[in-house]
């Protein structure tokens, strides 16, 4: 009886921890919604206001374990709340951490130009880690603009 009760208690604790971890993990649906919301902000309030909000580390476009970034089709990173050093840089030459070095930012721009929206998968280290992990990022073209929004999750 005591062993059964202990096993149940351990199982419940495990389920609670798993639920907490999942609650702190962004979903693909959230990435889509937040990217489109950020794009709408550009249309409603202008690029300058959207850039200011997107660059806030504690802003409304940073949630759970992810964030929205904005870049131009010219390759210039315009907003990145977690890596402010990227802002203003041309990132088109940067690659992922795979063996062949996938040109992810070029893929982001190509996808936004050709299809308007979609997902790009690549390898990138999780924050605070060195080993690359599988990441997938939703890319969304700001309607009528040469700008894209992106938000991704680790799988």
pLDDT score, position 1: 54
Separation of alpha carbons 14 and 19, rounded Å: 9
48 occurs within a structural domain: yes
Per-residue pLDDT at 24 exceeds 90 = no
Q: 3-state class of 11 per DSSP?
A: helix
Question: What is the percent of the chain where pLDDT is above 90?
Answer: 80
Separation of alpha carbons 144 and 43, rounded Å: 9
Q: How many CB atoms lie within 10 A of CB 67?
A: 24
3 occurs within a structural domain: no
143 occurs within a structural domain: yes
- 80-94: per-residue pLDDT in tens? 999 999 999 999 999
Separation of alpha carbons 124 and 154, rounded Å: 9
pLDDT score, position 2: 55
Enumerate the H helices of the chain as residue ranges. 2-23, 28-45, 47-54, 104-114
The mean pLDDT value for 2-23 works out to 41
pLDDT score, position 82: 92
Q: Which of 72, 79, 88 is nearest to 49 (CA)?
A: 79
20 occurs within a structural domain: no
Q: Which residues pair with 145 in a beta bridge?
A: none
Per-residue pLDDT at 20 exceeds 70 = no
Per-residue pLDDT at 21 exceeds 70 = no
pLDDT score, position 125: 87
Q: How many domains does the chain have?
A: 1
Per-residue pLDDT at 7 exceeds 90 = no
pLDDT score, position 16: 33
Question: Model's pTM, two decimal places?
Answer: 0.84
14 occurs within a structural domain: no
pLDDT score, position 17: 34
pLDDT score, position 29: 98
- Residue 98 sits in which domain range? 25-154
Which CATH number covers residue 38? 3.30.450.20
pLDDT class of 13 with cuts at 50, 70, 90:
very low
115 occurs within a structural domain: yes
Q: How far apart are the first and last CA of the chain?
A: 39
Per-residue pLDDT at 74 exceeds 70 = yes
Q: Which residues pair with 148 in a beta bridge?
A: 71, 141
């Amino acid at each position: 009886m005591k062993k059964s009760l202990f096993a149940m208690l351990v199982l419940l604790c495990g389920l609670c921890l798993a639920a907490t971890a999942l609650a702190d993990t962004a979903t693909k649906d959230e990435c889509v919604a937040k990217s489109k919301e950020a794009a709408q902000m550009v249309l409603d309030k202008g690029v300058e206001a959207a850039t200011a909000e997107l660059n806030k580390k504690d802003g409304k476009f940073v949630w759970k374990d992810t964030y929205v970034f904005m870049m131009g089709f010219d390759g210039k990173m315009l907003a990145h709340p977690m890596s402010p050093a990227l802002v203003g840089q041309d990132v088109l030459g940067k690659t992922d951490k795979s063996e062949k070095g996938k040109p992810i930012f070029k893929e982001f721009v190509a996808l936004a130009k050709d299809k308007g929206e979609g997902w790009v998968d690549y390898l990138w280290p999780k924050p605070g880690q060195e080993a690359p992990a599988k990441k997938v990022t939703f890319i969304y073209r700001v309607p009528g603009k040469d700008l894209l929004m992106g938000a991704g999750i680790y799988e």
